[in-house]
Structure 1
Amino acid sequence: MKTHFLSSRILYLFVIATFLTSCEKVIELDLDTQEKELVVDGAIDWEKGTQGREQKIHLYFTQPYYEQGQAENATGASVSVTDNQGNTFLFPETQPGNYLCSNFTPELGKQYELSILHQGKQYRASDLMREVPLLSEANIEQRNDGGFTRDEIQLTLRFDANPTEENNFILKIKASSDGVSRIYGFDGRFFTDGHFFTQIVSRSRDKNEKFKPGDTVEISLYRVSENYKDFIRILSNNSSDNAGAFSIPNWVKGNIVNTENFLKNPLGAFRVAQYSKIIYTIR
C-alpha cells in the first residue's frame, strides 16, 4: 500500500553500474554484539467516542541480528502514568513484558508522564493529549481510474484541522487484501488552511493484487506531537516497504530518557494520542 502526500520533493538520481556474476554465495557477516537494550512500546491510544480505559505498555529487549524467534520480554518492572493534576495510573504486569491498566481516564489537554523502574534504572517520558478530527465515510472519495496506470481503485482521504494550531498526525492503514498495517507520519507544512488530504492505492506485497470491490480498508488517524511524528517518519522510511533504492537507514531517537544517564536511554517512544478510525468497504 502506498500513500502520496502533497509535498515539494527534490529527487536525486544516481546511476550505478553493477557487474553481476552467475554465481551467488550467501555470506553471513561476523557482526559485533553489544549488551541488550530495553525497548519501550509505550502508546496510550484513545479512540474518539470511547472511554479509553484499557491501556497497555510493552517492554522487551533487543536481540542479535541473526537470532530467530520472539524478543525477550522485560519483566519485573514498575510502570505508571501520572497526569498533570497528580492522578497516577498503575500498570501491573499481567503477562511477561505486558503492563496493563484497566482504569485509565484520558482527557484532552492533559500532560501525561510515563515512569518505568526496571532493574534499578529509572526511565521517564511525557506527552500531551490532543484532539483529533473525527473521520467518517464522508471523508473518503473513491475513484476507479487511479494509480500510474489509471486502472486501479484509489481512495482519497480528506479532513480539516485547525490551521492556527500545530498539527502533526500519524495515519495507519490496514487493507484486507494483505492484512499488513502501514504507518505514515505527516504535518501541516504543505497543506493550505488546515485542509489535509492523502491518496491511497493498495497492492499486496507481491505487487499484483489491487483493491477490488468488497475489500475493506481500516484507516486510523492519530494526532501526535511533532517529535513523535518525526520518530514514526524515520521508522517508516527505514522500513523495506518505503525505503528507496539508495536509502540509508537513520538512527531513530525516542523521547524516553534514563534519568541517571542520558547515554543509556532505551529504544522506543512514549505517546498519548486520541485517534479516529473508520473501516471503508471498497465499492
Structure 2
Amino acid sequence: MKSYYIIVLIALVSLMASCTDVIEVDVPEGPIRLTIEASLDWEKGTAGNEQTILLSSSTTFYDNQMPSPVTGALVTVTNNDTGTIFNFEDQNDGRYTTANFIPVLENSYTLNVTHNGERYTGTETLFPVSDISEVFQSKEDGEDDEALEVNVSFQDPEGIENYYYLRFQSRNDMLPELFDIKDEFIDGNEATFYYEKTEDESNNIREFEPGDIVDIKLLGVSEDYYNYMQLLIEQFDSAGDPFSATPVALVGNCINLDDSSNAPYGYFRVTQMVQDTFTFE
C-alpha cells in the first residue's frame, strides 16, 4: 500500500511538471510624456534669484534607462501680480536656469513651457513658511523606545490656514522621508514632528546611530500641492502592499493647452523654505 501511494505521488508530480507553461502577458505601455520638475524653492534669508527647472521625457514602466533630458524648449515664469517675466535659459542637458528670479510672498506665478509645438502651463502662489524653532533627538515618540529619532518643532501662525511639506534626508539613505502637514489641528500652536528609522534587515535599513546626519527642509506650500503630495506619499508608503490600491501616475498642476490628452507629469511649485542639518550624538 505504501508503494502504491509513492507511485501515485510521483505520477502527480510528473503530471504537474509536464503542464507547466510560460505565459507571456502583454503589458500596455503608456505614451511618452513631458516630465516637468519645476520646484522654485526660496530659502528664507536669501535672495532666491537662482532657480532651476528640469525637463525630461518619461520612460515605460519596465524600461531600465533613465529619463531622457529634454532640450530646445522655451521656458518662462511670469509673476501674475507684477507682469514680470523670467526667462529660463536652456543648458542643453535638461536644465533650464535663471539668476534673475524675484520671489514675492503671496504673489501668483505661472510657468509656461513650449516643446515640440505644444504649450504647457501651470500656476502656483508663493506662501510663507514658519521658522524651525528647535531640532533635537529623543527616543520617546517612535515605535521603538530604544531607537533614536530626530524631532523638528515650529510655531504655526494662529488663524491662518497653512500647509507644509517636511522632508528628512538621511545622508546614509537614497530616499527621503516625506510629511504632508495641514494645520487643522495645530493652528496657532507649536508643532513637533519626528522621524525614526526602524531596523529592517531585509530592506537594509538600520536605526539611526550617533554620528548620523539628517538634512531637514520645511516648506510652506499651497493646498493643491499639499493634496498632490498627500497622494504621492500614500502611494509610496503602500508600495508592495497587496491590499493597497493600484498606483497610478499622478498628474500635477500643469496642463497641455494644445492637447489635453497629453498632459505632462510633474508639478510646478513656488515655495518659501527653511532648512537645517542635525547630527545625532
TM-score tier, shorter chain, comes to 0.7 to 0.9
Question: Which residue pairs with 1:158 in the alignment?
Answer: 153
Amino acid at match of 2:62: Y
Moved more, 241-250 or 102-111: 241-250
**DSSP 3-state at the match of 1:200:** strand
| Deviation at residue 81 of structure 1 after TM alignment | 0.5
* Alpha-carbon separation, structure 2, partners of 1:151 and 1:276: 30
Show the 5 A alignment for 1:233-248. Answer: 233-239=230-236, 244=241, 246-248=243-245
* Aligned residues of 1:188 and 1:194 also touching (Cα < 8 A): no
Task: Give the structure with the higher percent helix.
Answer: 2
Whether 1:178 and 2:176 are equivalent positions in the alignment is no
Deviation string for 1:52-110 (max 9, x for gaps)? 12111111111111111211222211000011201111011113221111221212122
Moved more, 49-58 or 177-186: 177-186
Show the 5 A alignment for 1:130-141. Answer: 130-135=127-132, 138-141=133-136
* Alignment match of 2:101 (pick from 97, 100, 104): 104
* Aligned residues of 1:177 and 1:203 also touching (Cα < 8 A): no
For the pair shown, the structure with the greater C-alpha radius of gyration is 2
Question: Which residue pairs with 1:14 in the alignment?
Answer: none
Whether 1:226 and 2:226 are equivalent positions in the alignment is no
Question: Which residue pairs with 2:114 in the alignment?
Answer: 117
Show the 5 A alignment for 1:1-283. Answer: 29-83=25-79, 84-135=81-132, 138-203=133-198, 206=203, 208-239=205-236, 244=241, 246-248=243-245, 249-250=247-248, 252-283=250-281
**DSSP 3-state at the match of 1:43:** strand
* Alpha-carbon separation, structure 1, partners of 2:184 and 2:129: 17
Deviation string for 1:163-207 (max 9, x for gaps)? 322211111111123243232212112324343221211257735
Deviation string for 1:93-146 (max 9, x for gaps)? 1132211112212121221111111111111111111111122xx512322355
Amino acid at match of 2:175: V
* Alpha-carbon separation, structure 1, partners of 2:211 and 2:45: 27
| Deviation at residue 25 of structure 1 after TM alignment | 10
Amino acid at match of 1:103: N
Report the count of equivalent residues: 258
Gaps of 5+ in 2: 1-19
Say if 1:25 and 1:279 are closer, same or farther in 2 by CA, change over 3 A. Answer: farther
**DSSP 3-state at the match of 1:103:** coil
Say if 1:244 and 1:278 are closer, same or farther in 2 by CA, change over 3 A. Answer: farther
Question: Which residue pairs with 1:20 in the alignment?
Answer: none
- TM (norm. structure 1) is 0.83
